């Protein structure tokens, strides 16, 4: 496996017109680690995630997953290899319960057609693993039968995390899981992610520095499409280039 890395990104380039959203991006995620990708607005974090999932084709560079070049692989094939993502904006079926949403994800992960999705929401063989996923994602049992439309923002994020876990990923890509959450919801999500640590490698894009510093084994700092520093929280905090480019006293660093 590419030098022990689960995911290796080498020299990734992505231009939007004259703008270099990825500019020689290099990044490694090790098996089982929680690796945070931080950086100012517009640094290219979402563009990096999009290229890892296959939604955005890079102009140059390589993406290796478990040592294999997946740079040109379609998104669905990457999911089947163990790369799963959750989105900045939650996409749930609002008129179905949390449990039914998760049951559909279990069914999809088993490779069945969505044609029979209405049956899936009643199938106990899918509902039992669906409940297990929701518990792993931190949603209390009492909320499993609530319609997605009636869930709080934090609970919707938990369901979305359960959907991402349904594919049994080896690497989970999380794009701002704390976005739009209140302080207590963010703390709950932080605890949930702490519980997942070690079970699945996580690449976490997040602006909530409290969560990042509490969770990350390593942090990479992205500025203008390039990683300017990678290290532990203490190493990144102490890095002069990082402090100058991004982290400020106001953010408590």
What 3-state DSSP class applies to 75?
A: helix
**Does 114 sit near ligand ATP (CB under 6 A)?**
no
Decide whether 18 or 252 has the Cβ nearer to ligand ATP: 18
Decide whether 47 or 53 has the Cβ nearer to ligand ATP: 47
Measure the CA angle with vertex 61, ends 82 and 39; round to 5°. 75
User: Which of 226, 188, 180 has its CA nearest to residue 207?
Assistant: 180
Decide whether 23 or 66 has the Cβ nearer to ligand ATP: 23
**Does 57 sit near ligand ATP (CB under 6 A)?**
no
Restricted to residues 34-53, the positions that interact with ligand ATP (CB under 6 A) are: 39, 41-47
Restricted to residues 2-41, the positions that interact with ligand ATP (CB under 6 A) are: 16, 19, 21, 39, 41
Instruction: Tell me, by CB under 6 A, how many residues bind ligand ATP.
Output: 11
User: Which of 124, 191, 181 has its CA nearest to residue 156?
Assistant: 181
Exposure of 216 by Cβ count < 10 A (0-12 exposed, 13-18 middle, 19+ buried)?
buried
**Does 220 sit near ligand ATP (CB under 6 A)?**
no
Closest distance to ligand ATP from the beta carbon of 14 (Å): 8
- Asked if residues 47 and 221 have their Cβ atoms less than 8 Å apart, the reply is no
Chain centroid to Cα 117, Å, comes to: 25
Interacting residues with ligand ATP (CB under 6 A):
16, 19, 21, 39, 41-47
């Amino acid at each position: 496996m590419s030098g022990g890395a689960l995911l290796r990104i080498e020299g990734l380039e992505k231009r939007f017109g004259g703008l270099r959203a990825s500019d020689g991006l290099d990044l490694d995620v090790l098996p089982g680690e929680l690796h945070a990708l931080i950086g100012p607005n517009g640094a290219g974090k979402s563009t990096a995630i999009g290229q890892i999932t296959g939604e955005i084709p890079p102009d140059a560079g390589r993406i290796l997953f478990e040592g294999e070049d997946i740079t040109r692989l379609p998104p669905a094939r990457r999911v089947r290899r163990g790369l799963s993502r959750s989105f900045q904006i939650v996409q749930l079926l609002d008129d179905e319960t949390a449990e039914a949403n998760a049951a559909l994800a279990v069914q999809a992960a088993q490779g069945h057609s969505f044609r029979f999705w209405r049956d899936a929401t009643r199938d106990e063989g899918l509902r039992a693993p669906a409940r297990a996923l929701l518990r792993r994602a931190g949603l209390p049992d009492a909320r499993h039968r609530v319609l997605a439309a009636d869930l709080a923002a934090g609970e919707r994020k938990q369901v979305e995390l359960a959907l991402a876990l349904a594919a049994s990923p080896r690497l989970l890509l999380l794009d701002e899981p704390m976005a739009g959450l209140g302080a207590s919801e963010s703390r709950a999500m932080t605890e949930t992610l702490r519980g997942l640590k070690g079970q699945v490698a996580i690449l976490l894009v997040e602006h909530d520095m409290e969560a990042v510093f509490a969770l990350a084994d390593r942090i990479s700092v992205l500025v203008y499409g390039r990683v300017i520093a990678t290290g532990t929280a203490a190493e990144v905090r102490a890095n002069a280039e990082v402090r100058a480019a991004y982290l400020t006293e106001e953010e408590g660093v």
